[in-house]
């Protein structure tokens, strides 16, 4: 469509007609596209945000609630507006710690304390006193009380759990019941008296331990039970425990010192007996006594006495270990100290061992003892064989015990055979094999190979009885 415009002419003018056409249909065609281009992207973005929101909030709520429970906030609740968290039911004084726990959950934008009132959390005290674990504090009901006692007994290591808990409706524990059992385990053993007080503001450790290592270990155990971010006020005092003395006398281990209770006494004696020697118990029980460490370490140190020294004494307290006695050379002295450090890494070792030189051997006395032993029970073999008889094997064992009691002695192991048709060469070969059989048995039992010389004599020294000729003789060199 179009519109014509004209004017009247004056006399003498020529009429000129101009026509202008405007196309409104073209303008109307692109206007809707412009509106769509401006409005559709924001609408799509809004829909993208609104559509998964309930699912996102549910996921964040579940994961944040789990994180709070793991962090010791069992009574806390959390809700979400989008990715923004509101935390309620947090014990007074622990708000910032709860916010830190939620803020670390992946996907949380910001966390704040909600309008709900703070929960008053009771303090639970766990005290180790001698052979008792004492529980104090308030619990909401009898069922919770029973659960707390069960958790403590499971980790008490045989100690008596003393119930001093009070039931008060509405009271709230500082965390899961199972964590109380973990705290009982964190107290460890070793005697003395120490306690853990667990409340809304964290944990306070008090009492005494035998070393800085034990002090650090107690704090690490608490953090392992409650989480690495829990505030720990470590007031444990380091006081030297012990001393515990071990002496090896006439083949017996004498154990002396003070222990806090009968359970610890039995544990120490059991550990020391594992060293394989008779044990003489000279321990005394005093409830306030403190062990220098775990009972198992006493057993490891007893192994040092038996294996590295053979005789002497060892005193163990919270400051380290003192060794005394005599050894044959400097290498043996160093080996004993290394054995102590292997049993008690990082210990301060006061090595007072003296070097006496190789022991003097009374050769005649040793030979007389060997002859008497073999006269009553020979080292015998099966016919035409290097295999020991049952009697021969038992005699070898008894000879080993005798040689162990005379360190430094050197002996010849002489093999013999009965006269037979096989000839001198075969007889010599068999007698050497019998000597080597006994030598190998001695070495397997711990006799130094360098102190043993096997030699075959064939049938050159027969006995009237052929069975008696199948033998091995031991001669001190």
pLDDT tens digits along 339-379: 888 888 878 899 988 887 666 678 888 899 999 999 888 99
Indicate whether 445 and 403 sit together in one domain. Answer: yes
Which of 192, 211, 238 terminates a domain? The answer is 238
Q: Identify whether 10 is part of a domain.
A: no
**DSSP per-residue codes, 396-434:** HHHHHHHHHTSTT--EEEEEE----TT-HHHHHHHHHHH
Q: Identify whether 18 is part of a domain.
A: no
CA distance 301 to 255: 11
CA distance 134 to 195: 9
Indicate whether 369 and 350 sit together in one domain. Answer: no
Helix and strand element counts for the chain (H, E): 13, 24
Indicate whether 186 and 254 sit together in one domain. Answer: no
Indicate whether 349 and 372 sit together in one domain. Answer: no
Which of 72, 103, 119 terminates a domain? The answer is 119
The CATH number for 338's domain is 3.40.1520.20
Residue 2 pLDDT: 46
- Strand, coil or helix: 313: strand
CA distance 186 to 304: 29
Indicate whether 445 and 372 sit together in one domain. Answer: yes
CA distance 310 to 304: 9
Indicate whether 142 and 103 sit together in one domain. Answer: no
Phi, psi of 408 (to 5 degrees): 100, -15
Residue 3 pLDDT: 46
| Beta strand 354-355 pairing with 326-327 | parallel
HSE of 415, CA atoms in CB hemisphere, 13 A: 25
Q: Identify whether 149 is part of a domain.
A: yes
Beta-bridge mates of residue 162: 134
DSSP one-letter code for 384: T
Indicate whether 341 and 277 sit together in one domain. Answer: yes
Q: Identify whether 169 is part of a domain.
A: yes
Closest by Cα among 125, 201, 132, 127 to 166: 125
Those residues whose C-beta lies under 8 Å from the C-beta of residue 39, and which sit 6 or more positions away, are none
CA distance 307 to 356: 18
CA distance 153 to 189: 14
Indicate whether 143 and 114 sit together in one domain. Answer: no
Whether the CB-CB separation of 295 and 285 falls below 8 Å is answered with no
CA distance 416 to 353: 44
Helix (H) / strand (E) containing 54: helix 53-70
Beta-bridge mates of residue 321: 316, 349
Q: Identify whether 178 is part of a domain.
A: yes
pTM attached to this predicted model = 0.41
Positions of the chain with pLDDT lower than 50, given as ranges:
1-6, 24-26, 47-51
Helix (H) / strand (E) containing 253: strand 252-259
CA distance 247 to 282: 11
Indicate whether 175 and 263 sit together in one domain. Answer: no
Question: How many domains does the chain fold into?
Answer: 4
Indicate whether 376 and 405 sit together in one domain. Answer: yes
Beta-bridge mates of residue 255: 246, 281
Indicate whether 345 and 385 sit together in one domain. Answer: no
**DSSP per-residue codes, 315-341:** EEETTEEEEESEESSHHHHHHHHHHHH
Q: Identify whether 40 is part of a domain.
A: yes
Whether the CB-CB separation of 286 and 264 falls below 8 Å is answered with no
Which of 181, 207, 238 terminates a domain? The answer is 238
Q: Identify whether 281 is part of a domain.
A: yes
Whether the CB-CB separation of 460 and 419 falls below 8 Å is answered with no
Helix (H) / strand (E) containing 359: none
Indicate whether 73 and 53 sit together in one domain. Answer: yes
Place of tokens 């429970």: 69
Q: Identify whether 272 is part of a domain.
A: yes
Task: Tell me which residue range forms the domain holding 466.
Answer: 363-476
């Amino acid at each position: 469509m179009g519109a014509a415009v004209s004017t009247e002419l004056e006399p003498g003018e020529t009429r000129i007609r101009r026509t202008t056409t405007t196309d409104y249909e073209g303008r109307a065609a692109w206007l809707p596209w412009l509106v769509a281009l401006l409005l559709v992207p924001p609408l799509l973005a809004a829909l993208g945000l609104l559509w998964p929101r309930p699912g996102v909030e549910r996921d964040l709520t579940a994961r944040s609630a789990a994180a709070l429970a793991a962090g010791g906030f069992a009574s806390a609740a959390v809700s979400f507006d989008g990715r923004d968290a509101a935390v309620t039911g947090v014990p007074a004084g622990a708000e910032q710690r709860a916010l830190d726990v939620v803020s670390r959950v992946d996907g949380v934008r910001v966390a704040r304390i909600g309008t709900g009132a703070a929960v008053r959390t009771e303090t639970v005290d766990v005290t180790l006193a001698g052979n008792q674990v004492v529980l104090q504090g308030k619990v909401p009901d009898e069922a919770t009380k029973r659960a707390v006692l069960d958790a403590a007994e499971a980790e008490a290591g045989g100690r008596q759990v003393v119930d001093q808990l009070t039931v008060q409706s509405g009271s709230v524990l500082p965390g899961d019941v199972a964590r109380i059992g973990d705290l009982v385990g964190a107290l460890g053993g070793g005697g003395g008296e120490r306690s853990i007080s667990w409340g809304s503001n964290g944990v306070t450790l008090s009492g005494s331990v035998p070393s800085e290592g034990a002090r650090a270990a107690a704090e690490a155990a608490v953090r392992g039970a409650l989480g690495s971010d829990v505030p720990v006020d470590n007031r444990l005092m380091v006081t030297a425990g012990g001393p515990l003395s071990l002496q090896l006398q006439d083949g017996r281990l004498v154990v002396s010192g003070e222990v806090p209770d009968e359970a610890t006494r039995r544990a120490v004696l059991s550990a020391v007996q594992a060293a394989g020697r008779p044990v003489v118990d000279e321990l005394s029980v005093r409830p306030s006594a403190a062990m220098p460490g775990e009972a198992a370490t006493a057993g490891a140190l007893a192994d040092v006495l038996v294996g590295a020294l053979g005789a002497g004494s060892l005193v163990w307290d919270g400051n380290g270990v003192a060794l005394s006695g005599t050894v044959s050379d400097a290498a043996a002295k160093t080996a004993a100290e290394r054995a102590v450090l292997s049993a008690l890494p990082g210990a301060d070792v006061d090595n007072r061992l003296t070097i006496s030189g190789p022991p003097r051997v009374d050769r005649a006395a040793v030979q007389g003892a060997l002859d008497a032993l073999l006269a009553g029970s020979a080292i015998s073999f099966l016919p035409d064989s290097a295999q020991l008889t049952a009697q021969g094997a038992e005699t070898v064992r008894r000879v080993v015990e005798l040689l162990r009691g005379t360190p430094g002695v050197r002996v010849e192991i002489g093999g013999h055979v009965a006269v037979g048709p096989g000839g001198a060469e075969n007889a010599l070969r068999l007698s050497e094999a019998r000597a080597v059989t006994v030598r190998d048995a001695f070495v397997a039992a711990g006799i130094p190979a360098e102190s043993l010389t096997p030699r075959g004599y064939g049938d050159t020294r027969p006995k009237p009885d052929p069975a008696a000729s199948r033998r091995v003789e031991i001669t001190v060199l």
